[in-house]
Structure 1
Amino acid sequence: MPQEVRFEIPFTTPVSEHLAYARDRHLRWVREKELVRSEAGFEEYLSWDLLQATLRTYPHASPDDTVVLMNWLALSFLFDDQFDSGQPDRADRIAEVARELIVIPLRPLGSPPRVVCPVTTAWVEVWAQLADGMSSAWRSRFAANWGRFMAAHSHEVDVAARSAVLGLDEYVAVRRWTVGVHHAIDAGERSRRFEVPPQAAAHPLMLRLRDAATDTIGFMNDVHSFEREQRRGDGHNLIAVLRHARGSSWEDASAAAIRMTDERLRDYLRLEEEMPALYDELRLTDDERARVSMGVEAMRHWINGNYEWALTSGRYAADKDGPAAVAEKQGHGSLDDLLSA
């Protein structure tokens, strides 16, 4: 049922028309970089339909940039699925790889990874492409948000390895980063070759808007992915946290998670209405206002685009069988080991 839950999003967003151009190029790259290493893993990856996620979240990217963004989403999602609670040393290896992923954007572009595995070698290439033509301010902002995502992800893995349970407030704070949306919104600027002016990007109103968008996406994702994560024994999910914190039934916890999601979406919409005051306060030029407006559009693209993709993606399907279901029952969502050279 969770994947079938519908939310009322009062806006629509466009979808890129570059699927035909990007599809084969992307899938060939995924194989060449060994981000999938088996036929079963490749079939599982295809069922996720990350191509559609890219077309919806980055609808204005050029054909070539669409390929780059597909490649980036692939390595991000596939890395996210590498945790196996059945292997005691897995958390340490994930932390080692995550640290390497954090520092790659801090080195000269194209520097070879010091921890070698498919996700690190792929990230060296993709980061050089993402950073191309972007200012040092944008690169620093993206790298900082990417680093927070990786650090939070490692914390999540450590919590799972210890079979610990987070309280609601701590979970919400961690989830804001493990969902990986802050740097994905930054990539929205790269997808259209513009940058939000630094004074606007750092403004408290813009930061609150991004947090509201991120929470909305994270909570929606938790609702839609709940059955998949329950199969895996993964407690890093809003529904599971609410049930534990309140001692409620699964049904009541699900209803509470849906209410929280709706509330954060309303927060986002209310903060959007305050944006004209930011323009006036910062005395932005017409060009600067246009770039901030596109930055807000990037958030909308992720809210609605990710939502529409999650409704049909095989990544969250409740009726899985075959090798992928076996992998999830063993405690991880990927059939292939991507952390070994």
Structure 2
Amino acid sequence: MPQDVRFELPFKTPVSEHLEFARERHLRWVWDMGLVRSQAGFEEYQSWDLPQAAARTYPYASPDDMVVLMNWFSLAFLFDDQFDAGRPDRADRIAEVARELIATPLRPTGTAPRVVCPITVAWAEVWSRLSDGMSLTWRTRFAASWGRFLVAHTEEVDLAARGLAGKLGLEEYAEFRRRTVGIHHSIDAGERSRGFEVPPQVQAHPLMVRMRDLAADTIGFMNDIHSFERERRRGDGHNLIAVLHRERDYSWEEAAAEAHRMTTDCLDAYLELEGRVPQMCDELALTTEQREHVQMGVEAIQHWINGNYEWALISGRYTASKEGPAALAELSGKGSLDDLLAV
């Protein structure tokens, strides 16, 4: 049921014309890099259709850059599916790999990873391409957002390993979800996809800070709704519907309805702030070029809200009923068939 839940979005976003070109090259790269290690794992990965997610969220990227963005997309999703909450030793390995992923953007480009496994090797290659041509200011901002996202993931795994994942209160969960959804660095990548940068004074302005947070909340809650059945099967309590069900003693239907209302409220609040962007530009006395970059930055947020939503409605990653290897993986308590954290 939740994957079919619809939202009324006031903007539509395009899909990259380079989707099929990039998809073919991306899938070959995923296999060659060892990010899928079995035919069953490859079929499971293909069912997610991450190339379409990238094509919807970064619709104006060049053909070659679209391949880079698809390759980067795969890393966070595949890393997430390495989590096995029933194994405390797995939490330690995830933390070790996460520290390496965090460190990569802070080292000189091209530095070989010190913790070696398919995901760290792939990320070192992707970062050298993703950061190409961007300023130190952008690279630092992206690295900070990326780091917060990965730290939140290790905290999530640690909570699950200690049996505490399903015990966060609603307010605490909402703040935590804002970090685990990984939207801030994903919006940053929107600048890389079109070769521009939002001025630093705009990024630091309270209006833009709040807009990015509300976009993260909106997307995170939407994802919770669309992925609920999948996560419920896995016993994953890191989901807004599960938190509402537990904390407010709602039925599952009531919790889903309240999650939908909360998501819509976040979207409405975001849209209200978006309408104030011209006033912010006036306040900061931005040049014509800077205003154009701000508008492109706002479009990057819109692309993520709408593009992620459209992809989640059809992705096999969130399909409520599954057969075959993906279902077997989840029933066994693991998110993925292939171990990508070992050498």
| The one of 177, 184, 198 aligned to 2:179 | 177
CA contact (8 A) 2:86 2:161 kept: no
CA contact (8 A) 1:86 1:330 kept: no
Task: Give the aligned residue type for 1:60.
Answer: Y
Mapped partners of 1:204, 1:86: distance in 2: 40
Mapped partners of 2:252, 2:143: distance in 1: 38
Is residue 157 of structure 1 aligned with residue 157 of structure 2? yes
Mapped partners of 2:159, 2:88: distance in 1: 13
Is residue 282 of structure 1 aligned with residue 299 of structure 2? no
Mapped partners of 2:61, 2:112: distance in 1: 27
Mapped partners of 2:51, 2:121: distance in 1: 21
SS of the residue 2:88 aligns to: coil
CA contact (8 A) 2:169 2:243 kept: yes
**What's the CA shift for 1:247?**
1.4
Structure 1 match to 2:341: 339
Structure 2 match to 1:103: 103
Structure 1 match to 2:146: 146
Structure 1 match to 2:8: 8
**What's the CA shift for 1:163?**
1.5
Structure 2 match to 1:137: 137
CA contact (8 A) 1:41 1:336 kept: yes
Mapped partners of 1:63, 1:211: distance in 2: 30
Structure 2 match to 1:88: 88
SS of the residue 2:46 aligns to: helix
Structure 1 match to 2:54: 54
Mapped partners of 1:329, 1:95: distance in 2: 24
**What's the CA shift for 1:326?**
1.7
Aligned length: 341
**Cα deviation code 1:292-329 (max 9, x no counterpart):** 01000000000000000000000000111222112112
SS of the residue 1:244 aligns to: helix
Is residue 24 of structure 1 aligned with residue 24 of structure 2? yes
Structure 2 match to 1:237: 239
Is residue 192 of structure 1 aligned with residue 162 of structure 2? no
Mapped partners of 1:236, 1:36: distance in 2: 25
**What's the CA shift for 1:116?**
0.4
Structure 2 match to 1:250: 252
CA contact (8 A) 1:117 1:340 kept: yes
CA contact (8 A) 1:83 1:331 kept: no
Structure 2 match to 1:300: 302
Mapped partners of 2:325, 2:45: distance in 1: 12
Identity of aligned residues (%): 70
**Cα deviation code 1:260-310 (max 9, x no counterpart):** 000000011000011111101100000000000100000000000000000
**What's the CA shift for 1:330?**
2.4
Structure 2 match to 1:41: 41
Unaligned runs of 5+ in 2: none
Mapped partners of 2:338, 2:240: distance in 1: 27
**Cα deviation code 1:139-182 (max 9, x no counterpart):** 00000000000000111111111121111111111100100110
Structure 2 match to 1:220: 222
Mapped partners of 2:240, 2:206: distance in 1: 26
Task: Give the aligned residue type for 2:317.
Answer: R
Is residue 205 of structure 1 aligned with residue 226 of structure 2? no
Q: What's the TM-score, normalizing by structure 2?
A: 0.98
Q: What's the TM-score, normalizing by structure 1?
A: 0.99
Is residue 72 of structure 1 aligned with residue 72 of structure 2? yes
Mapped partners of 2:72, 2:248: distance in 1: 38
**Cα deviation code 1:53-104 (max 9, x no counterpart):** 0110000000000000000001111001101123231111101100110011
Structure 1 match to 2:266: 264
SS of the residue 1:89 aligns to: helix
Task: Give the aligned residue type for 2:198.
Answer: V
Mapped partners of 2:125, 2:225: distance in 1: 33
Structure 2 match to 1:310: 312
CA contact (8 A) 1:149 1:178 kept: yes
Mapped partners of 2:283, 2:92: distance in 1: 47
Task: Give the aligned residue type for 1:287.
Answer: E
Mapped partners of 1:189, 1:202: distance in 2: 16
Task: Give the aligned residue type for 1:31.
Answer: W
Q: What is the root-mean-square deviation of aligned Cα atoms in Å?
A: 0.7
CA contact (8 A) 1:84 1:330 kept: no
CA contact (8 A) 1:60 1:192 kept: yes
**What's the CA shift for 1:336?**
0.4
SS of the residue 1:300 aligns to: helix
